[in-house]
A and B are shown apart, each in its own frame.
Chain A
Amino acid sequence: MLTFTIRRLVLAIPTLLIISLVIFLLLQMAPGDPMAQVPLTVPPEVKEKMREALGLGQPLHVQFWKWLVQVFWIEPKVFIDFLTRDSWLLGWLPDTSLYQGELRVISWQTRSPVMDIVVQRLPQTLWVVGMSYIVGILIAIPIGIYSAYRQYSVFDQAGTFVTMIGFSIPPFFTGPLLIVIFSVQLGWFPFIYDTTHVVNDWDSFVYQLKQMIMPVMVLALQTTAQISRFMRASVLDNLNQDYVRTARAKGLSEAVVVMIHVLRNSMIPVITVIALGVPGIFGGAIITEVVFSVNGIGQLLITALFANDLPMVQTLTFMFAVLIVLFNLIADILYGVLDPRIRYD
């Protein structure tokens, strides 16, 4: 298992390098000019200097190499410094001060380090997306178990129908639909996610809950649809197995048979599916964030894309890729850890 993990980790490095190269080359073909917003009165030689200041005058391989160094060497140093200086987790360690003022990945829009902006935006995305994923899983698993246990019952048929709807209705329709119903007609929830809102007493907590319900539900519908399908199939597979008959023959109650014997075995494939879905939900969250004006990572990517902010787009897309590779790895390892029948060596 350990050798397998190490081999996969080592293999992940060239994969990530190739992915970053693909993203880089794609962005290099961009027709947009970051100097398009500079006034026409600025003479061309000054413009040329500004372009060089952005690092655009260099040949391609130099640019790519510098980006790699910034992301893989300088940004970790900044992060370690932050950990040992400001975080409560490792703040008791002496300040490492590894970062000596080298150039970090700078956004062309704001001229500030990309990672600082990402760190500002991350909590919103994590709150909304993470919460929706958890809610989705919590709804999906009981539905999956029950509809497999009572296969072809009314509940199962209804569950299948709801799942189909969850697959079919895209988030850019469920979002406005919920807004029309719950914000416009009923006036229950605000339809813009207020990120500056501070939770410090009960009322503000209720407001925070209210503004989170709709985006969380939109994302959770999709998660629920997928995972309850997998859960149902997995439980159905297990219910026909011999060990279930044995357990029943021993005189165990149905609750014990289903909730302990079957559930534990049927969670194995579902957990890997859950792990595989985590990066996907980040991608899907882009649309939901745009609909509800949550200023998270997805919205950051969209605005950066429209503003021709190449370092920002490059870094964000790369971060999504890292998430995908990482969670693929986690899913594979989890599968091996949870199921002793799977041996990778």
Chain B
Amino acid sequence: MTDPTPTQISPIAALQDREPSKPPRSQWRDVWDQFKHHKGAMLGGGFLLFVTLAVLFGDLIWQIDPKKLDIRNKDIRPIFNAIWDSGAKVSWSHPLGTDNLGRDHLAQIIAGGRASMAVGWAAMLLTMLIGTSIGVMAGFFKRLDGPLMRFTDLVLSLPILPLMLVAVTLFRQPLRASFGPETGMFILIVGVIGVTSWMQTARIVRGDILAIKEREFVLAARASGTTARGIIFRHLLPNVLSPIMVSATLGLATAIITESALSFLGVGFPSDFPTWGKMLADAVPRMQEFPERVMLPGIMISLTVLSVNYLGDGLRDALDPRIRGR
């Protein structure tokens, strides 16, 4: 046997592996590319980032204490009033004016935004935590499905806003006594919003889990001996991340509005602790003389919520693989 001379086999052109023209792309890169095309979402995301940074670090730049009373400089109008009313009482040291006790409005907006955003983010995280865990449990464990979904239906048929008002007025005193007026109120409002707004998330997550649970990759994971815990955390949760993110943006918007509504109705934070809703509510009685005190916090709430909503819209488009790439 002579060694066969190794002939150079030249593969047929059709079977040739062409080099991939570009490196593989991760899912998140695709999402980002789609997201970039949504102008509203980009603007919204940018504004949300700006507001978050402004309320976090704004007091390093604008160093007036929002609670400092300066009764000599009370009722200063915002600086832009001088454009149409040359006799208006304006001052560059208080660009957005002061209120009836001489507290600086810009500093209050920054401090109030910090409270509103903190409540919004915390309540949103709590909502997502409750909603996702209930949704996952109901979707994954067949025995829990019935009771948990009946429970969800029951909570959905509770009148939320009246019950929220009841709960806040009832638990205000004990929580404020044990955690101090501001922390107690923060815990209470975040808790109340979280407990009353997780239902939609739970339903969406359950539906998706039910569908994904039957797919082959979960079967494969189960066959290779992955525990229920492993399947949930490694295989199911990453796959339901996109609906969770979309409902998270909705949750953030609702939480900000709910906190402001509670403050507006007078059951929110204590009166010397500014939040946007509180500032708006305090300004309403003197709306005729000082309309800007209603407008500024109102515009801040509305713009923030609007940008969060646009962000959610863009995220929904970007995370949906059927729409992506079109």
Contact = CB atoms under 8 A, between A and B. Distances in A.
B49 interface: no
Nearest to A318: B159
A176 B294 contact: yes
Contacts of A29: 170-171
Given A31-B170, A305-B166, A170 B157 contact: no
Nearest to A173: B298
Given A170-B260, A179-B287, A18 B154 contact: yes
Contacts of A169: 298, 302, 305-306
Contacts of B169: 30, 305-306
Contact of A19 (B157, B165, B173, B174): B157
B261 interface: yes
B154 A19 contact: yes
A31 B173 contact: yes
B265 to A, nearest CB: 7
A169 B192 CA distance: 22
A296 interface: no
A287 B261 contact: yes
Contacts of A22: 158
Contacts of B158: 19, 22, 321, 324
Given A164-B306, A301-B165, 15 more contacts: A18-B154, A19-B154, A23-B163, A23-B166, A26-B167, A31-B170, A167-B253, A170-B302, A173-B298, A184-B291, A283-B162, A313-B166, A321-B157, A324-B158, A325-B157
A103 interface: no
Interface in B278-301: 280-281, 284, 287-288, 291, 294-295, 298, 301
Interface string A44-55: 000000000000
Contacts of A180: 287, 291, 294-295
B162 A286 contact: yes
Given A18-B154, A173-B280, A168 B305 contact: yes
A279 B156 CA distance: 12
A316 interface: yes
Contact of B166 (A27, A167, A283): A27
A163 B157 CA distance: 26
B310 interface: yes
B157 A328 contact: yes
A257 B268 CA distance: 52
A225 B306 CA distance: 13
Nearest to A285: B161
B277 interface: yes
Contacts of A31: 170, 173-174
A279 B158 CA distance: 11
Interface residues of B, number: 43
Contact of A30 (B163, B170, B295): B170
B144 interface: no
A23 B157 CA distance: 12
Contacts, number: 118
Interface of A: 15, 18-19, 22-23, 26-27, 29-32, 164-165, 167-170, 172-173, 176-177, 179-180, 184, 279, 283-284, 286-287, 290-291, 301-302, 305-306, 313, 316-317, 320-321, 323-325, 328
B309 interface: yes
B253 A317 contact: no
Nearest to A163: B309
A321 B260 CA distance: 24
B265 A287 contact: yes
B219 interface: no
Contacts of A23: 163, 166
Nearest to A328: B157
Nearest to A22: B158
Interface string B102-115: 00000000000000
A9 B277 CA distance: 40
B264 interface: yes
Interface of B: 40, 153-154, 156-163, 165-167, 169-171, 173-174, 253, 257, 260-261, 264-266, 277, 280-281, 284, 287-288, 291, 294-295, 298, 301-302, 305-306, 309-310, 313
Chain B binding surface, main DSSP class? helix
Given A26-B170, A167-B309, A301 B162 contact: yes
Contacts of B281: 172
B19 to A, nearest CB: 39
Contacts of A321: 157-159
Nearest to A28: B170
A287 B291 contact: no
Contacts of B287: 176, 179-180, 184
A19 B157 CA distance: 8
A317 B162 contact: yes
A45 B310 CA distance: 62
B51 to A, nearest CB: 14
A321 B156 CA distance: 10
Contacts of B171: 29
Contacts of A313: 162, 166
24 contacts: A22-B158, A23-B166, A26-B166, A26-B170, A32-B170, A164-B306, A165-B306, A170-B305, A172-B261, A172-B264, A172-B277, A176-B280, A176-B294, A179-B287, A180-B295, A279-B159, A286-B161, A287-B264, A305-B169, A306-B169, A317-B163, A320-B162, A321-B157, A321-B159
Nearest to B153: A15
Contact of A283 (B160, B170, B306): B160
A284 B162 CA distance: 10
A168 B298 contact: no
A316 B174 CA distance: 25
B308 to A, nearest CB: 8
Contacts of B165: 301-302, 305
A168 B309 contact: yes
